[in-house]
């Protein structure tokens, strides 16, 4: 009788070692002097402040900000196309964009990759995207975990989870309590679906319409797969530039990351009592992919609004005195943006104005 081995059970330790050898360079490209070397360590070390006075942050009453998220069934699109080096950007974006809603400076990121079998080239592609997202976020990829789970995931499947830790001085933390009547609501452009609503989008495109990922769609100007695989926009750097631009505190009163639940359900989370946000429908151009999905699946407007970001990936609620200046800064940073509404006195709510 043959002796049982780990490889026979689905885990090849030699392949695993090959995969791990491909990753250090992808981590190192994200590191700053605040990452302390610990080769082969069981954890990552990150210095909250710089030892050098020249680069010292001098946080006042620092508060750590932590969040986690995944990519969802967008991974099924990546698997169908065979392109895996962009969903890592989505993974970073989903957590980093949440952290910036508190006004935080993203510090470091950790990833968790689960696969049915060892696949070094695939893992390298995934971490390549994660590394790229961290560079774009000014966030160090401090470490992660790769789990080989042959009895949990089917061949061709994998899953990603990400974890971001940031910091903000307590007096600069943003929680929406400063939102008041008269404030201006700014919408920042998304790059499309981002990483939400893919169960519905996939059902419409591939089941209801019977399309393939390589089907060319004139309305979208590309294939279905290319449109669906567009990475989530990372807003950390341009929003951080806005937040650090002003010496006064009372400029940006609230920030909402528009994910599952759409504008209404994400915005209402930051609205204080006595204020209501009025969103002007039609105040921004809705990307073609949303109108295409709506028509193809005969989806009601209310369902579209609730499932997708509809072209607005992030919302800033700002003082009316600084609204034009903030819009100019965002434009200069390459982020298209619009005034999409205002804050009025009333019961705590978010309402649409047609």
Which residues, 6+ apart, have CB-to-CB distance to 252 below 8 Å?
103, 174, 242, 243, 316, 317, 318, 319, 326
3-class DSSP state of 69:
strand
Q: Which domains does the chain have, with CATH numbers?
A: 13-172 (3.30.1330.10), 184-353 (3.90.650.10)
- DSSP letters along 241-276, please? HHHHH-SSS-SEEEEEE--TTHHHHHHGGGPPTTEE
- Please give the chain's pLDDT, 354 residues, in tens: 678 887 877 888 888 888 888 888 998 999 988 888 887 778 989 999 887 777 788 888 999 999 999 999 999 999 999 999 999 999 999 999 999 999 999 999 999 999 999 999 999 999 999 999 999 999 999 999 999 999 999 999 999 999 999 999 999 999 999 999 999 999 999 999 999 999 999 999 999 999 999 999 999 999 999 999 999 999 999 999 999 998 777 899 999 999 999 999 999 999 999 999 999 999 999 999 999 999 999 999 999 999 999 999 999 999 999 999 999 999 999 999 999 999 999 999 999 998
What is the reported pLDDT for 126? 97
Helix (H) or strand (E) holding 342: strand 337-345
State how far the Cα of 22 lies from the Cα of 3, in Å rounded to an integer.
31
| Phi-psi domain of 189 (left: phi exceeds 0; alpha: psi -120 through 50; beta: other) | beta
User: How many other C-beta atoms can be found within 10 angstroms of the C-beta atom of residue 153?
Assistant: 16
Alpha helices in 250-342 (DSSP H): 262-267, 288-297, 301-307, 323-332
What is the reported pLDDT for 319? 96
Closest to 145 (Cα-Cα) out of 20, 34, 36: 20
């Amino acid at each position: 009788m043959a002796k049982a081995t780990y490889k026979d059970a689905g885990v090849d330790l030699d392949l695993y070692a090959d995969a791990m050898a491909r990753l250090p360079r992808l981590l190192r490209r994200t590191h700053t002097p605040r990452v302390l070397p610990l080769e082969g360590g069981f954890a990552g070390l990150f210095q909250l402040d710089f030892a050098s006075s020249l680069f010292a942050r001098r946080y006042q009453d620092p508060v750590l900000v932590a969040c986690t998220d995944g990519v969802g069934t967008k991974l099924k699109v990546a698997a169908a196309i065979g392109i895996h080096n962009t969903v890592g950007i989505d993974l970073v974006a989903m957590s980093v964009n949440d952290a910036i809603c508190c006004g935080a400076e993203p510090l470091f990121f950790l990833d968790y990759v689960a696969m049915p079998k060892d696949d070094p080239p695939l893992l390298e592609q995934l971490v390549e995207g994660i590394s790229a997202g961290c560079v774009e976020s000014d966030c160090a990829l401090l470490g992660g975990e790769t789990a080989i789970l042959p009895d949990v995931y089917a061949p061709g499947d994998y899953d990603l989870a990400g974890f971001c830790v940031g910091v903000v001085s307590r007096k600069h933390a943003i929680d929406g309590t400063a939102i008041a009547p008269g404030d201006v609501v700014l919408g920042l452009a998304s790059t499309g679906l981002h990483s939400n609503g893919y169960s519905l989008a996939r059902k419409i495109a591939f089941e209801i319409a019977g399309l393939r990922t390589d089907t060319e769609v004139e309305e979208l100007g590309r294939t279905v797969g290319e449109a669906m695989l567009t990475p989530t926009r990372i807003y950390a750097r341009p929003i951080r530039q806005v937040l650090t631009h002003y010496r006064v505190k009372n400029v940006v009163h609230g920030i909402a990351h528009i994910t599952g639940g759409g504008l209404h359900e994400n915005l209402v989370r930051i609205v204080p009592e006595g204020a209501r946000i009025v969103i002007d429908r039609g105040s921004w151009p809705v990307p073609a992919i949303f109108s295409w999905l709506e028509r193809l699946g005969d989806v009601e407007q209310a369902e579209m609004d609730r499932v997708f970001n509809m072209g607005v990936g992030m919302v800033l609620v700002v003082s009316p005195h600084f609204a034009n200046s903030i819009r100019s800064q965002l434009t200069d940073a390459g982020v298209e943006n619009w005034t999409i509404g205002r804050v009025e006195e009333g019961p705590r709510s978010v309402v649409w104005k047609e």
